[in-house]
Amino acid sequence: MDTRKRVNDALKQAMKDKASERLATLRLINAAIKDREIAARVDGDDGGIGDGEILAILGKMTKQRSESARAYEEGGRLDLAERELSEISVIQEFLPKQLDEEEITSAIRDAVAETGAASIRDMGKVMGALKAKFTGQMDFGKVGPLVKDQLCTAGDC
């Protein structure tokens, strides 16, 4: 079942269950997906977006809420931080399992070997291969420096 259908099914179930907080989060997810579809249509695409793009949207939403929750906690607004964290838990239901450190390291090693990357100039190829296979399963902001370290040990930096 594709991610969009799972979100819509969960939305319908939340309406039946009268789960207002969950329903609000699911509506935000739907709105973000529709916004991306509209942007794609404006850019000349057919308007359809794939699961990879939806996973990227969900990843971005999770990251935004994590940053907001941290800011709210620092500001002493624990009620707002709690709401952000509950939204994160709803969003993460639709994301694939996050890879742990060991799996990320192994994936980077495989991507470097697969692309034939020999120096830091090949970092884009490696990141592209990782994004194609592991969208939504790892934080690419944190993976970038790991790829760089891997390429620096393989070649000269």
Q: What is the pLDDT of residues 46-68, one digit of tens each?
A: 657 888 888 889 989 998 999 99
pLDDT tens for 2-11 read: 888 999 999 9
For residues 143 and 110, the answer to whether their CB atoms sit within 8 Å is: no
**Average pLDDT of the segment spanning 127-151:** 85
Any residues with CB less than 8 A from the CB of 58 and at least 6 apart, and which?
3, 29, 91, 94, 95, 136
Q: How far lies 47's CA from each of 35, 50, 113, 137, in Å? A: 10, 10, 35, 25
Task: State if pTM tops 0.75.
Answer: no
pLDDT above 90 covers what percent of the chain?
41
Q: Residue 46 has what pLDDT?
A: 67
Examine the pLDDT at 154 and tell me if it is beyond 70: no
Q: Where are the domains of the chain?
A: 3-92, 101-154
Instruction: Annotate 56-117 with DSSP letters as a single string.
Output: HHHHHHHHHHHHHHHHHHHTT-HHHHHHHHHHHHHHHTTSPPPP-HHHHHHHHHHHHHHHT-
**Residue 123 CB-half CA count within 13 A:** 16
Question: Is 3-92 in CATH node 1.20.1250.20?
Answer: no
The answer on pLDDT for 1 being more than 70 is no
Residue 135's Cβ-count burial label (10 Å; 0-12, 13-18, 19+) is buried
pLDDT in the model for residue 117: 82
Q: What pLDDT is attached to residue 40? A: 83
94 vs 102: CA distance, rounded Å: 23
Domain 101-154 has CATH 1.10.10.10: no
